[in-house]
Structures are given as structure tokens and as C-alpha cells.
Structure 1
């Protein structure tokens, strides 16, 4: 399987579930977005994975295990670039808005606050609107990436919290706007998963153990834990589900 995804997050679904389907994943050069791109590719989709880093894209294109994923450079802050890029796609069945950044502490600066909102929230709207006609033609699906910080606070990242809370409202609004044409819009809300963004926490035993202890499952999430939920929300199994955000946090947000 493409990308070494071999666990239950993929084998729970029938092989070839997304054969003949085209999936676009933003923010897919690492972490959550890359895991999701691998998951759809493993289920037969033609996956276009975008990111802004030329060096990361070059490395991913050279990885033989990822040869079934098409990696493209796209700045999600540039609406004209998004429109031009989406226009090159002949069809589009699924859009996953996974692009995201956090700038701890610095987000109290006006410029940084606006940058984080732009990447995490406004870009999802840009991509959805650019892809709307193609998704309507396919009666497709959008899956946005929210966060457990859509529900709880982190004093160091006010813009991240605000942007991810905004994803909840955007998901509901787009579900009702796109729904009459048969397009479903949902979101996942990751918790503490081992990514580069959370490295400063999970590499320190005391903080890693404290976070695991609060979760119901007493462990950190891995990025692969997010694949099954995303695939489900884009699949026929969720044909009557729209406008919802599915927490994938091991019970962290509901813990004490």
C-alpha cells in the first residue's frame, strides 16, 4: 500500500473504496495532512497533496513509497493561485482542508494573529469556494481539520484557538450552502497527536505523561489515528452526515 499505511485505519475499509476518485489535500507535506493523503491513496484515490515548502515537496516527490501521490506547491494565502490551481483539475470528488500553522506566544502580535487566521480558517473558505462547482458536479465531500482547541483554551495560541473554533462555524455554514447540490461538509477535531507541531510537548516525558493521563485512552494520538475518521466522512458510509465536527482526541477534551 502507498505510504506504508497498513493498520486498521485502512484495512477497516474495502480495498479500492476510492478508485476513480480525485482527492485534494492541502497542507499535506507532513503530519496530519500527509497521513490523510496516504490513506486516500491506499484506498485507490488519485491524490493531489499541496504544500508551500519547495524543499519538502522535492523530497516527497523523490520518495518511491509516495509515487502514487501527486505533490504540488500551493500558497493557500493566495486566492488567485488557488483559483488557478483548482481550475487545472478536470474533476474533484473530495477536498480536505488540512493546512494549518501555530505560532505560540507570537500570536498576540497583530500581524502574526492575522497570518494564522488566514492559513487556518480563511484558506479553507478559499479552497471550498474555488472547488465548489467541481464538488457539486461530483456530489462530493469536504472534510475540514478543526482541533480540540476549537473547544478548550490554550493561552499561548489565541489565533490558533480562534481559527479552529471558526472552522466549526464554517463547516456548519458550508454544509447548508453546499448541501442542496449534494455536497457534504464535515470536520475532524484532532487532539494531541505526535507531529512536529507538538514535538516540544511529547519529547518531554513529564508533559507527555500529563497529556496522556487526561485522555480516556491514556495515550497520545498518532497521525494515522486521524485517517479512518477522515475517510469515513468522505465515504458513502456517511451519506447522511453533514455539518458536524467529529472529535478524534482519545477523549482528551472531555477529560479532567
Structure 2
């Protein structure tokens, strides 16, 4: 990650508070670390105490808290207790392959991946208005493509792009920018079954323009850019970080 961090001014986010949901592992944790290394005061939210404990041990410069993105009251209470907020990264997400065709599971995935982002955005709105801050919603390449095993995940991530555009216009007059990042195939726990399968891993890498899988660090620079003064006129946008996968072909 050091080369990515070196691309930005040291202390760029000093005095800024950044809140990252889904920040106890994977993409969210990598993004949280990136902000912290540029001087930000970072709060990372997770739902699993086990993951939070492991993250705390490895990242003492980040504050980790347990908050359920499905609990509107808990979200309002937590965010309302902050003194300031400059960046909200909505990174919490789940996928339940195959079982998403069941009503209960389908609704759970939608609630976490889409409704959770709306809950945090609304709770953070007053603080972001005060700071002239921004929101980054984590979407997915499945906002554009289909995967027959995860209809709820695909629907929720497609919804994230719509939510991003609408909130950009709703919050824009208050000086709040709202953008999205759409990751592709990155090596995380969620994709482990694929990148540990040689045939599946090679097939996916072959479609990428860069002929490789992404790492979680590949998302960090984009998040930092969208939250920086370099992106002050960027809002309602989605930046795919997928190595060219979506525009490729097998």
C-alpha cells in the first residue's frame, strides 16, 4: 500500500474524521487503513466481534466499533454521538449464494447492502453538511453484470448506484458529495472459493484487461481521491475498479 499512500500529500486527512462501515476486514479495512495512514481519525464499523478483535490487534491507530447496519436506532445513536464527520464510506455488504432465492435471505441481503447505506447516509447527513464532507458507497461489478447465484446481491448493488445518484442531488445543495466505487474480482474472504480454485481464478484473470485479480489495496487510492480536494466537483459518479473486467469478454 505504501506506493499508493505516497501518491498523496502526507497528512492529507489530518483533523478529518472518517467512518467506514464493513471496516473490520477486506476492502473496508484496507480503505480504513489508507485514511489512517494519511492522518485521518478513522472509525471502522463491523458486526462480528471476532473480526473486530482481530482488526484491533493489527490496526491500533483505528477505532473499531460494533454496530448493526440493520439497526436504525443504533446507527442514529452512534453517529449522533460523533463530534464531526468528514467522510462516510458505506462498505458493509454480504452475499448468500443460492440461498438468496429464499425470501428471508433475499430481504436480509437487500437490508444490509442497500438499506444499510441509506440509514448511515441519513444519520451522517447533518455532520457531513457541517463539514462539507462526502460519501462513498461501495457498489460492485454486479451492478452491471449478472450472476445467477446471487440475485439479491446483484439487485442491492445495482440499487446502490441509483441511491448514489439520487443522494448526490438531494445532498448536493448542502455541499455533500456522494459517489460510488464498483470493485471487481478482488481477493477477499467473500471471493475465496473462486481465487483458490485454479480454473476459476485463471478464467477470471483472463477476462481482466490487466490479466490478474485485484487486491484490497487496489481500492484504496480511488477512495482517497474521491474524498480529497482533487475531486471537489465529482459527485453522482461511479468509478469501476475492476481491472477492466466489466468491459472484457471471455
What's the secondary structure of 1:62's corresponding residue?
A: helix
Partner of 2:23: 28
Give the TM-score, by structure 2 length.
0.99
Paired residue for 1:50, among 28, 32, 45?
A: 45
Give the TM-score, by structure 1 length.
0.96
Distance 1:43 1:54 in 2: 26
1:132 maps onto 2:125 in alignment: yes
Shift of 1:62: 2.6
Distance 1:25 1:171 in 2: 16
Distance 1:19 1:61 in 2: 21
Say how many residue pairs are matched: 249
Shift of 1:61: 2.1
Distance 2:34 2:193 in 1: 26
Shift of 1:187: 0.5
Describe the superposition over 1:97-130 as per-residue Cα deviations: whole angstroms up to 9, x where unpaired: 0000000000000000000000000000000000
Shift of 1:59: 2.3
1:102 maps onto 2:82 in alignment: no
Distance 1:12 1:205 in 2: 33
What's the secondary structure of 1:188's corresponding residue?
A: strand
Distance 1:130 1:175 in 2: 15
Q: Does the 8 A contact of 2:208 with 2:244 survive in 1?
A: yes
Partner of 1:210: 203
Q: Displaced runs of 4+ in structure 1, greater than 6 A?
A: none
Distance 1:182 1:149 in 2: 30
What's the secondary structure of 1:80's corresponding residue?
A: helix
Q: Which structure 1 residue ranges, 5 or more long, are not aligned?
A: none
Distance 2:212 2:50 in 1: 33
Describe the superposition over 1:57-112 as per-residue Cα deviations: whole angstroms up to 9, x where unpaired: 1222233xx11100000000000000000011000000000000000000000000
RMSD: 0.6
Distance 2:217 2:4 in 1: 7
What's the secondary structure of 1:126's corresponding residue?
A: helix
Distance 1:85 1:126 in 2: 12
Shift of 1:35: 0.3
Distance 2:107 2:56 in 1: 31
Q: Which structure 2 residue ranges, 5 or more long, are not aligned?
A: none
Distance 1:190 1:55 in 2: 25
Partner of 2:167: 174
Distance 2:100 2:210 in 1: 31
Distance 1:209 1:70 in 2: 37
Describe the superposition over 1:195-232 as per-residue Cα deviations: whole angstroms up to 9, x where unpaired: 00000000011110000000000000000000000111
Paired residue for 1:93, among 86, 107, 123?
A: 86
1:69 maps onto 2:62 in alignment: yes
